[in-house]
Structures are given as structure tokens and as C-alpha cells.
Structure 1
């Protein structure tokens, strides 16, 4: 069970992430997409399925969004209504700014019916006025369903600038977060520095570490690369130039992801940190989705061999 692995602080948690269909789809189209998701995901050797809760991040940056923002189905509703035949634990993201003081508690009440895993996400920009804040979401979770297996977001690259990502993590642990899923990782150095400070702070302050689940995504085109950068994914300049110049960007990005995870998995475990992986595809092109499946199987091998 995913809950047991998280609460026993085990290494090797393996997740696969998807985005629900866009609301512009017809009912028949949504059912067809769901069927493809079920067929693809049911065969994967994963501990859980991540369903993202998408918010418009245009206020986070002045750069033009490479693809237009289109609202998606609520991840809980998509999971409950269209993926009910998929017998895999779910990790449902909640962009708390999308909810109100009425709708968020109502959802928390539903989570008491069975063991749900969630990740709370704050607003993409501090400039946004949202009806629900992250601290309020944490408070309501404790009041309504404290047994909810809650995770948080961590961004190792932010640590290179602010040097306090490990402090943010422990603050969220104090607010009952039991695991963390990172933003997509292409910056190995940033992740290793974060893990080092995370382990040191835990040791110096007699605190327990919780699982860190690194997100990987293959990149199959210059357009996908541009979108990844717009999303805030940190790609070192030399890697970006290598990928742009690559004759096979998908193959080379896959190799990068495999090498990065292999290094992080052994490095984290050497410091006593349980390390996991979440594989996703930010693009909807068939080639990139298939590459994400191949990447997941390669990550599984790394976990089994180490």
C-alpha cells in the first residue's frame, strides 16, 4: 500500500503523473481519453497515480505562455467518475487557490470515506488574490481529516537562490506533510545541494526526514523544452544548448533523466533520505507519452538494482 510505504518512510516509491482532460472535450471524448489512461496505466509497476490540478500560471511570469491555458476537469471528479476501474492508489493535487472556504471543506469530508493521498499547492504567484490560502488549507485538513495522507511540493532549484528550501520542507512537515514531490528535475547540482542541507538540518535538529519523490519528464522537441522552461523548470544552460543541438532530443533527454535519477537515488539513500520518483509527460504527443512509460520502467530497474 502506498500509504504504508510513505508512513514507513521507504525508498523506492514509484508514481506516474497525468493531467485530466480539458473541459472543452465532449462526454464521449472524455470517456475515450479515460479508456486510454486506464489501458496504459493499469500495466505500469507503480505505487500510485498522480492527478494534477492545473491552475493558470500566467501571472507568475511576464513571458508569453507557449500554449494557451485551457481549464481541465477536476482531478478528483475525473478519478472518481472516469477512472473508477483503475485499481491503483491516487495522489490528487489540490491547487488550493481554486477553492473556497465552502468547497474545500466539502471535499475534505469526502476524503474521510477512504484513504486518499493529496498534495496541496499554493498560488502560482504571490500577487494573486485567492479565496483559499495554503495555511488555511492545512488548518482545515487537520480539523476535518487529519488522517489524510498529505504531501507537499518542493523545488530544489529554488534552494540555489534562497538557500532555505529545506526549511520550507520542515515547516510543511510541521503542518502534517508526510512526503514531498518535486517539480521536474533537470538540475542535478541543485537537487544534491538541497538533499545535503535537508539531511544536515534533520541531523542537527533531531528531526526525521520524509520521502522526497523526484519528478522526471522526457523532452521530445524544442517546443516542449520551451514550455518546460515557461513552467519554471530549471534546465542548466549547457544542457539546454546540448538538447537544442541534439539530433534526437527525446533520446538524449531520456538518457539525462535516467542518469540524474540514478545519481539522486544513490546519493539520497547514502544520506539516509528515502528517495522516490514520479514520471510524467508534460506533452501530449504520442512519442513523448511512450517515452515517459519507457523512462518509468528504467527508473524501476534502478530502484531494483540499488
Structure 2
């Protein structure tokens, strides 16, 4: 079970992430989408399903959003109703600052300690108005449901810029987080820098390291590339050039993401840091979703032996 793997600080956890259908979608179409997702995921070699709680991040940057923000169905309701037949643990994201305390409390009271985990996400920027701070949300969770595993968000790019992401992670562990899921990873160096600081600071401070799950996402078009950059995903200039000039940008991104994961996993294994991966598609185009499935199947296989 996913909860036991996290509690045991196991390495190699594999997750798959999705976004619920858009609000306003016809009920028949919602049912159709859910059925397709169930068929696609029920045979995947995954430990759990991530369901994202989307919030408008317009305040995070002055750059224009490549695609308009459209609110989605509540991911917890969607998981319980349309995806009930999918018998894998489900990690429910909650953008904590957009919910009143009583609403977040009601959500926590309804989740299952064995079948559900949750990840609290903070505000997109300091200018975004919130109903509660992350510290308040963590305290609420500890009062209401201390038995439910709580995860946090880790951002490699923030570590490259400020050099303190491992300290943020330690503080979140102190506040109850048992695992972390990263933002989409294309900047291998930033991720390895984080892992190194996370390991050595944890060793110096006597902190037991919890699993860090790196998110990998294929890129199938220039539009998707621009959207990923707008979301804050750092793509090294050399790699951006390779993708833009590739004969098949989608295949190139899948190949790079697989190699990225293999190197991160090998590096983490040398340190003894438990890591996993979360595969998602930021685009809803069928070819990019299928590429995410291909990537998931690739990373689930053992690394090829070197002769």
C-alpha cells in the first residue's frame, strides 16, 4: 500500500497525476471522460493517483497566461464519484488558502486514512489573498485528522534561486508532512543540488528523510513548452533548443524525462535518499496523454544494465 511505502520511507514510488474535467462539462461527457481514465489507469503499474486542485496562478507572474484559466470540478468529489471504481490510493491536492477553515475541516473529516492522502498547496504568490496561511492549514489538519498522511510541494527551481528549499522541506516535515511531490522537473542540476543539500543537512541535523517524488511531464508542442515555462518549470536553454529543433518534440521530451529520472534515481540511491516519480501531462491532447503513459511504463521498468 502507498501509505505503508511512505511510512517505511521506501524508494521507487510511482504515481500518475490528472486534472478533473472542467466545470460546466455535461454530465454525460464527465462520465465518458471518467470511464476512459479508469480504463487507461486500471492496468498501469502505479502506487497511487494524484488529483490536482487547480487554482489561478495569474498573480505569480506578470507574463500573460498562454491558455485561459478554467476552473475544474472538485477533485475529491470527482475521485469519490466518477473514479470510485479505480481501486488505487488517491492523493487529493488542496490549495489550502482558497478554502474557509470549516470547508477544509469538512474535507479532512471525509477522507479515508487508508485510501486517501492529501497535499496542501500554498498561494501562488504573496499577493494572492488567502483564507488561511499554510501554518494554519497544517495545524488544522493535525487537530482534525492526524491519521491521514500529509504531503507537501517541493520546487527545485526555488532551491536553485534561493538555496533553501531543503530547509523549507524540513520545516514542513516538522509540521506533519510525510512526503513531497515536486513541480515538473526538467532542470536536472537544480534537482540534484536539492537532493545533495537535503541529504547532508538531514544527516547533520539527525532528520529522517522522507520520500521526495519528482514530477515528470512530456512536452508535445511549442504551446505546451510555453505553458510549462509560464507555470514556473525551469527548462535549461540547451534543452529548450533541442526540443524546439527536434524532429519529434514529444519523443525527445519523453526520452529526456526518462534519462532525467534514471540519473536522479541513481544519484539518490548513492545517498540513500528515498525518491519516486509522478507522471502527468499538463496538456489534455490525446498524443501527450499517451506519451505520459509511455513515460510511466518506461520508468516503471528496471534501468537497462550497462555491459
- Residues 92, 117 of structure 2: 8 Å contact kept: yes
> Judging changes above 3 Å, is the alpha-carbon distance between structure 1 residues 303 and 8 closer, same or farther for their aligned structure 2 residues?
farther
Please, what TM-score do these two structures have when normalized by structure 1? 0.98
Q: Map residues 169-208 of structure 1 onto 2, 5 A cutoff.
A: 169-208=169-208
Runs of 4+ in 1 over 6 A off after TM superposition: 303-306
Whether 1:239 aligns to 2:239 is: yes
Contact 2:55/2:95 (<8 A) preserved: yes
Aligned to 2:62: 62
Residue 13 (structure 2) aligns with: 13
How far is the alpha carbon of 1:208 from its aligned partner? Answer: 0.6
Q: Which residue of 1 is the match for residue 78 of structure 2? A: 78
- Alignment partner, residue 88 of structure 1: 88
State whether residues 217 and 282 of structure 2, in contact with CA within 8 Å, keep that contact through their aligned partners in structure 1: yes
Deviates more, 1:147-156 or 1:103-112: 103-112
Equivalent in the alignment of 1:274:
274
**Unmatched tracts of structure 1, length 5 or more:** none
- Aligned counterparts of 1:271 and 1:284: Cα–Cα separation in 2: 36
Deviation of residue 304 (structure 1)? Answer: 9.3
What CA distance in whole angstroms lies between the structure 1 residues aligned with 2:138 and 2:303? 32
| Number of aligned positions between the proteins | 306
Cα distance in 2, alignment partners of residues 130 and 19 from structure 1: 22
RMSD (Å), alpha carbons: 1.4
Change (3 A) 1:229 1:140: same
The residue that corresponds to 2:262 in the other structure is 262
CA distance in 1, matches of 2:113, 2:2: 17
Match of 1:33 in 2: 33
Measured in 1, the distance between the counterparts of 2:129 and 2:213 equals: 30
Shift of 1:204: 0.6
- Separation in 2, partners of 1:237, 1:190: 14
Matched position secondary structure for 2:77: helix
